[in-house]
Amino acid sequence: MMTLAIQTSTTSNTQPNQAVVAYLQQLIGFKSITPNQAGAIDWLEYQLNSLGFDCEQFTFNGVTNLIAKVSFGEGPIYAFSGHIDVVPACAEHWLVEPFSGAIVNNAVYGRGAADMKGGVAAMLCATQKLMVDVAHKQGTFYWLITSDEEGEAEYGSLLIAERLAQQGIQLDGCIVGEPTSHVQVGDTIKNGRRGALSARLSIAGKAGHVAYPDNTVNAAHLSADVVKRLTNIDWQQDEASSNTSLQVTGINIANVVDNMVPAHCEMTFNVRYSHGYKSADIKNEIQFALGDLANNLNIEWERPCESFYTAHQGSHCLLAQVEQAVLNVTGNYPLLSTSGGTSDGRFFANSHTQVIECGVRNNTIHQVNEHVPIADLIKIEQIYTKILSNLFNG
């Protein structure tokens, strides 16, 4: 049986770099369930302001965003992107109060500990170290924080990216602090994500008596044909280790009576697609596959999330810098992955801006007893410190 040592403060923690633990506990204490910032962004703004950042906070439709900037003069422009919002937590099954940040067996417990207040706390410590001596630094560093990543993300990082574009700011690279690691911190980073697209399909047939099917068009039978066509699409533009998959998520035929051919069927499906595609390509493939059924179908597309991908580039390569920092701290190169759900990285990635996600382990995210070991926090802080030092030291 496991013995639990529950501590509610960091005082009995003898490990170094306690600031990262204290910051994480502070952040967990803000009940920032999407889209409420609940003081978390105010606190971050205060911290960054004290370090010399210019901060701009703006709220739209209940979502709070923060753009904080420090410039060391000419040079590349890099950003850290993160979210302080969390999914809800119901206290009854937790070892500790989910917004307490209590330490259990040398891990910080709480909603958001891994996704992704831990990353934010570690980046804050790394940023403090970066700002200790700014004499020989170059470039500009942005912090881009939102309170709506876990929700619809309509007014979060999308608006931040638009704001930067309006100001004529083009990022050279962006580090996203999402939890990407698998078994050990730094073993996996994400240099892209698959895209996602949902659809709602109305299938129209013609009702009639089941005994006289020649006079009807059976919407249930049509739906079977649609499922077959959708699931047989050959996604030829898939990239290696980034496969497209389409899953039908619902089929609904209302008012089923046993002597009547149904006239209508509603179907929903979701596509997770390789970075070899953009959402427009996916729509084209699906419409082509459904071809001659078009007269009986109406498709409404929902919740599109574009794919993105960052390859290595010749000079000033953020991907190489992150790989190098991980190697320095952990002794191993990270695995590059594009798996998992969507992330805010998609709002910043483009043909110029490299986007790399690198963070703590994701084994407990969105779960009861979400937690992050203190040793992992210290490791990710070291990785971030190394990355920042490499990026801004001339």
Residues marked active site are found at: 85, 149
Give whichever of 146 and 223 is closer to Zn ion, judged by the CB atom: 146
Take residue 93 and report the two structure tokens written for it. 């099954």
How far is residue 197's CA from residue 283's CA, in Å, rounded to a whole number? 9
Strands (E), the chain: 6-7, 54-60, 63-71, 77-83, 103-104, 107-109, 140-146, 173-176, 188-190, 192-193, 195-204, 208-209, 245-252, 260-261, 264-273, 297-305, 308-309, 335-337, 354-357, 371-373
Does position 357 bind Zn ion by CB under 5 A?
Answer: no
Residue nearest to Zn ion (CB): 115
Span near Zn ion by CB under 5 A; candidates 113-121, 223-231, 258-266, 287-295: 113-121
User: How large is the C-alpha radius of gyration of the chain?
Assistant: 24
Whether 237 contacts 187, CB under 8 Å: no
Give whichever of 116 and 271 is closer to Zn ion, judged by the CB atom: 116
CB of residue 149 vs Zn ion: minimum separation in angstroms?
A: 6
- Count the helix, strand and coil residues of the chain and give each as a percent rounded to the nearest 5: 30, 30, 40
Whether 77 contacts 142, CB under 8 Å: yes
Q: Please, what is the end-to-end C-alpha distance for the chain in angstroms? A: 53
Three-state secondary structure call for residue 120? helix
Binding mask 249-288 for Zn ion (x = CB under 5 A): ----------------------------------------
CB of residue 319 vs Zn ion: minimum separation in angstroms?
A: 20
CB of residue 148 vs Zn ion: minimum separation in angstroms?
A: 11
CB of residue 116 vs Zn ion: minimum separation in angstroms?
A: 4
Element holding 320 (H helix, E strand):
helix 318-330
Give whichever of 148 and 178 is closer to Zn ion, judged by the CB atom: 178
Take residue 107 and report the two structure tokens written for it. 């891990």
Residues 43-72 that bind Zn ion (CB under 5 A): none
Q: Is 201 left (phi over 0), alpha (psi -120 to 50) or beta?
A: beta
How far is residue 289's CA from residue 271's CA, in Å, rounded to a whole number? 14
Does position 120 bind Zn ion by CB under 5 A?
Answer: no
Does position 344 bind Zn ion by CB under 5 A?
Answer: no
Residue 74 burial (10 A CB sphere; 0-12, 13-18, 19+): exposed
Give whichever of 178 and 381 is closer to Zn ion, judged by the CB atom: 178
Residue indicated by tokens 């390569």: 317
CB of residue 86 vs Zn ion: minimum separation in angstroms?
A: 9
The total number of residues written for the chain in this structure: 394
Span near Zn ion by CB under 5 A; candidates 30-38, 107-115, 119-127, 203-211: 107-115
Q: Among residues 222, 241, 252, which one has the least CA distance to residue 336?
A: 241
Does position 115 bind Zn ion by CB under 5 A?
Answer: yes
Q: Give the number of residues in contact with Zn ion, rule: CB under 5 A.
A: 3
Residue indicated by tokens 């992150």: 322
How far is residue 297's CA from residue 225's CA, in Å, rounded to a whole number? 12
Residues 165-204 that bind Zn ion (CB under 5 A): 178
Whether 24 contacts 372, CB under 8 Å: yes
Span near Zn ion by CB under 5 A; candidates 22-30, 109-117, 119-127, 254-262: 109-117
Does position 116 bind Zn ion by CB under 5 A?
Answer: yes
Write out the residues near Zn ion by the rule CB under 5 A. Answer: 115-116, 178
